[in-house]
Chain A
Amino acid sequence: MSNPVIIEDIRPLIALLAPWVGLVGIIWAGEKRPNLRELFTFIAASVQAAVVLSLVPVILSGAIVEFHIWQIFSYVPMLLRVDGPGLLFASVASVLWIATTLYAIGYMRGLHEHAQTRFYSFFALSLSATMGVAFSANLLTIYFFYEMLSISTFPLVTHMQDKSARTGGRTYLGYLLFTSLCLLLPALSWCYVWLDGGHLTMDFIEDVGKVGHFSETTQIVLLFLFTFGFAKAGLMPSHSWLPGAMVAPTPVSALLHAVAVVKVGVFCVYRVYADVFGADVLSRMSGEEWTMIVASATILISSLIALSQDNLKRRLAFSTIGQLGYIVLGAAIATDRAQGGAVLHIAMHACGKITLFFCAGAIFVATGKKYVSELRGLGRKMPLTMGAFMIGALSVIGLPPMGGFISKWYLALGALDRDAQWVVAVLLISSLLNVFYLLPVAVSAFFRTSENQQDSSFKEAPWPCVVPILFTAMGCFLLFFWSDVLLQIVGLTP
């Protein structure tokens, strides 16, 4: 991949704008014509997914797609670029958006939620911003879309418009905007002002490793500013916004807080490690291990916290924080296989965790139950949902033949490439913890009987809820069997 062919193509922009067109339709249809409104969401999601997937062959052939939108500063363009990691992330997000839309119909209508037009509108905006992050070609562009995502998800987090929404929303914005405006922005301007006489694009291909011109201390400070500045990555101690954001309706928790938003965070961190600092600079830095230690600590601590959570969605949220830690860890290990594994984990974890969240939501719609302790014997009542939960859990734990295995395998290999054996130990311990906090949920649902006999009669959630669950659960298998294609996309040879 030394000199990839660059193709000018408008497709990335179409993927970015499809939600905006959908948005117009959604608002036009409004509360009065809900079926038409959801149709617009479907169309936007399908167009987006189709456009993104149509780029796969182009990337597989070794080329890179670019589109220039606008000149931010005279020397920094707002440039969209599709490369392997970006494409993988974008395809996962856009395909899962289709599934989530169907699920949201079941969920929102099943619960008679209010303000669904607002809900679908901002959902679409969030997906547009996600595409922007996935396809950004330089630091400033990625920052723009990152901020757009923070703002467009706020109305979704505060959807319930009550006291708990206020608390959740405040934590959410407090963490995200504080870090992005007070850590990220200075770090950004620092790079743009001082490097190369202030006329650098901070392009992800051309300017890799330019930060190496700074002094050692500056590099470390910058690395930490970036790592914690992208607080959507959920690295401790800036993780608290994520459990707080669980007050949102479950489709939001599922797509945004297990796939789009948090993955935007780790994706940005990945970009910083792989395409701003670059493996060369990182290997020469002396303090870089500290980020690995922070990530490992995040993985272990959040898994321990997850063990103690009785609220199912909160348990899943802490599990997400731990899994995001894997991705940051992989990026920080900075070997090819570890970083490839990190990007793969974006896809693998997305598929597994969205299944789990879908299940949590389906349980809530069908029975109104939110707590792990209430789920005993539920397997007989909702066999499909709980079966899918089992599959999702196994994938998150990382057992073959589920997708989660592949990415963890590459993370471990990458760590060994660097002689960081302790990382493998962290991975093993945390997988064990995953088993402890996820499997009992499924096991007690199937193998313990509920005190209440009525609970054992068959009653699944409405079908629009169940179909996406089966779809994503199947995805967990498929990702395992398609892993060679995925590996090729992120630039690893299987």
Chain B
Amino acid sequence: MSDQIVWILLFPLIGAVLCSLSGVISKKVCYPISVLSMLASVWASVNTLMQAIESPVHEVSYILGGWSLDLFPRGVGIEFRADILGGLITLVVTGVGLLVTLYSKVPVQRQTPGKEAMYYALFLLQIAGLAGIALTGDAFNLYVLIEVAALTGYGLIALGSNRAAAATFNYIILGTIGASLYLLGVGYLYLKTGTLNMVGIREMIEANALYDSPAMQVAFVLLLLGILIKMAFFPFHAWLPNAYCHAPTTTSCLLAPLVTKVMIYVMIRMILTVFGVEFSFESTWWAEILPWLVVVAIVCAAVMALAQREIKRMLAYLIVAEVGYMVGGVWIYNYYGLIGSIFHVISDACMTLCLFLGAGIILEKCKTTHFDGLRGLFAKMPLTMAGFFIGGFSIIGLPPTCGFFSKWYLITGGMVSERWEYMITLMFSTMVMVVLFFRLIERIHLAVDESGKNLGKGHGDLGLSQDQTRFDEAPLSMLLPLLLAASIVIAVGVYNQEVVDQIEVFLRAYDLPTGVDYK
């Protein structure tokens, strides 16, 4: 059953085709088709991950079209390769995809009436593209899948509010620049090595001692730049806040947790699998500069998040800050930092999902996500708020949510590499997150407006009518995914050990400094 790895992609692809066809007949079937295909896809990715964990080499490989690898050193066919890292990320992608699909029933009908068929087709293609990025073992195929994800993403965002078109245009320009840089980098690699398979490239580099070649340096810088733009690393983040704010609810719920995180994965993949640890970190000048760029990125993004008065926009800047965390975790260059980064990719996907699902419900019920319209929500939607703030506490890094554990490993990493600036930045941004989320709690919970004027008549009177504070929860199809996501945030925290064990199995194959002289 080693071909389950392709089914991860095939299920959503087939679902997308079915959706666009059946849309002609009845729009009602799109939702069940999408849910079913995502369920199947999650099932396939769980199986693939289990196979990868159980296999002696810790990976599952599948050659599309049956091209033999013997023809040319890993050259001709496209290989899908799920090692533990790829398997984990794929599971995250499909899992988030499934939850958002479940969630999509009400908002898609409300926000894009009449276009459900098209919406779901794009939506499933997007998931297929993202999952494919995590699975493919081919550098050029990776580009294709990045473009699949990007193009469908443009479509999904453009379906949003009036200003979505402008935001999409912005995104298209930056996204295309990023993808082109990536493609150029792959071109250089192909020129020097004659293969596109990631492991093949690595083998050729080592066999021909290409590390000193300037072309390799250029290739690496181009790839890295392209990836950094795609992951919205500050100062290349300009496309992200508008795109996520003006997109339809479901779109931002799907893109926000996944797109940036998957690009972090691509960066880790390029460093570990294609270029090698030594070349990426030790023989180059950028390894010294990047950690400082990370400091700037996190601080700026955190401060900009502070300035926002609207939940979705604030969350968008939070994502930019979190991207800084993960890039930093990779570039402080040690074992713990990488564990932290990889674990943070997983946990950040879960908690961002939580937050965006919550924000989506708030938007659905209150018609606004501006801070001024939130008072009394604890009474009105206690469950939604619980789910939302579990995500928030995880972003702050309070135990036992998963955010605490990723932060723990990142701090440990900073300590081991003696990157104090990175550690202090983490502390700083943690405090900013505390301010962000408790300010939100204040705005919801207290009968005080921003300037500190008392509203209402005291004794918990919020100055609202009875209608505004009566228990009025979101529909179950929206609430349930949120609560599931919140429990996943806690579960990943509680069972962090199991996840980290697998990450360690993956990382042990690479020669990373642990910094501690173990006795």
Contacts and interface: CB of A to CB of B under 8 A. Distances in A.
B447 A193 contact: no
A192 B427 CA distance: 18
Contacts of A151: 393, 398
A332 interface: no
Contacts of B441: 154
A305 interface: no
Nearest to A150: B398
A147 interface: yes
A151 to B, nearest CB: 7
B497 A162 contact: no
A113 B460 CA distance: 9
Given A163-B454, A182-B427, A193-B516, A144 B399 contact: yes
B501 A74 contact: yes
A193 B412 contact: yes
Given A114-B460, A115-B460, A143-B399, A166 B415 contact: no
B519 A197 contact: yes
Nearest to A198: B516
B427 A181 contact: yes
A417 B406 CA distance: 46
Interface in A102-134: 112-115
Interface stretch (B131-139, B242-250, B430-438): B430-438
Contact of B434 (A74, A114, A161, A181): A181
Given A186-B411, A193-B412, A158 B434 contact: no
Interface in A159-189: 160-163, 165-166, 169-170, 173, 177-178, 181-182, 185-186, 189
A166 B451 CA distance: 11
Interface majority SS on A: helix, strand, loop or mixed?
A: helix
Contacts of B454: 162-163
A185 B411 contact: yes
A173 B430 CA distance: 13
Contact of B430 (A162, A182, A190): A182
Given A114-B460, A182-B427, A186-B423, A162 B446 contact: yes
A363 B397 CA distance: 42
Given A147-B399, A151-B398, A181-B430, A162 B448 contact: yes
B397 A181 contact: yes
A387 interface: no
B416 A193 contact: yes
Contacts of B448: 161-163, 166
Interface residues of B, number: 41
Contact of A166 (B412, B442, B459, B494): B442
Contact of B497 (A71, A158, A173, A194): A71
Interface in B348-406: 393, 396-400
Contacts of B442: 158, 166, 169-170
Interface residues of A, number: 40
A72 B494 CA distance: 7
A197 B396 CA distance: 28
B452 interface: yes
B180 to A, nearest CB: 41
A177 B434 contact: yes
Nearest to A113: B459
A34 interface: no
A173 B433 CA distance: 13
B458 A162 contact: yes
Contacts of A178: 431, 434
Contacts of A166: 442, 446, 448, 452
Contacts of A198: 516, 518
A62 interface: no
A122 to B, nearest CB: 12
B398 A189 contact: no
A73 B497 contact: yes
Contacts of A177: 431, 434
B266 interface: no
Nearest to A183: B427
B415 A193 contact: yes
B459 to A, nearest CB: 5
A165 B438 CA distance: 13
Given A151-B393, A197-B517, A189 B408 contact: yes
B445 interface: yes
A189 B518 contact: no
Interface string A185-210: 11001101110111000000000000
A147 B442 CA distance: 19
B49 interface: no
B462 interface: yes
Contacts of B446: 158, 161-162, 165-166
B431 A181 contact: yes
A212 interface: no
A28 to B, nearest CB: 14
A161 B431 contact: no
A224 B248 CA distance: 50
A146 to B, nearest CB: 10
A148 B408 CA distance: 17
A141 B448 CA distance: 36
Contacts of B400: 144
A161 B430 contact: no
Interface string B136-179: 00000000000000000000000000000000000000000000
A83 B441 CA distance: 38
A148 B398 CA distance: 8
Given A70-B494, A182-B427, A158 B458 contact: no
A161 B516 contact: no
Nearest to A162: B454
A151 B497 CA distance: 25
A114 B454 CA distance: 17
B452 A161 contact: no
A189 B452 contact: no
A114 B430 CA distance: 33
Contacts of B423: 186
A251 to B, nearest CB: 16
A155 interface: yes
Contacts of B416: 193
Contacts of B501: 74
Contact of A161 (B408, B412, B447, B453): B447
Nearest to B423: A186
Contact of A189 (B411, B434, B460, B517): B411
A147 B438 CA distance: 15
A85 to B, nearest CB: 23
B224 to A, nearest CB: 29
A177 B392 CA distance: 15
Nearest to B461: A114
Interface of A: 70-74, 112-115, 143-144, 147-148, 151, 154-155, 158, 160-163, 165-166, 169-170, 173, 177-178, 181-182, 185-186, 189-190, 192-194, 196-198
Given A71-B497, A173-B438, A193-B416, 13 more contacts: A70-B494, A74-B500, A144-B399, A147-B399, A155-B445, A161-B447, A161-B448, A162-B446, A162-B447, A170-B438, A181-B430, A186-B423, A186-B427
5 contacts: A114-B461, A143-B399, A162-B458, A169-B442, A197-B519
Interface of B: 336, 393, 396-400, 408, 411-412, 415-416, 423, 427, 430-431, 434, 438, 441-442, 445-448, 452-454, 458-462, 494, 496-497, 500-501, 516-519
By Cβ-Cβ distance, the 8 closest A-B pairs, closest first, are A114-B460, A197-B518, A182-B427, A114-B459, A144-B399, A197-B519, A161-B446, A198-B516
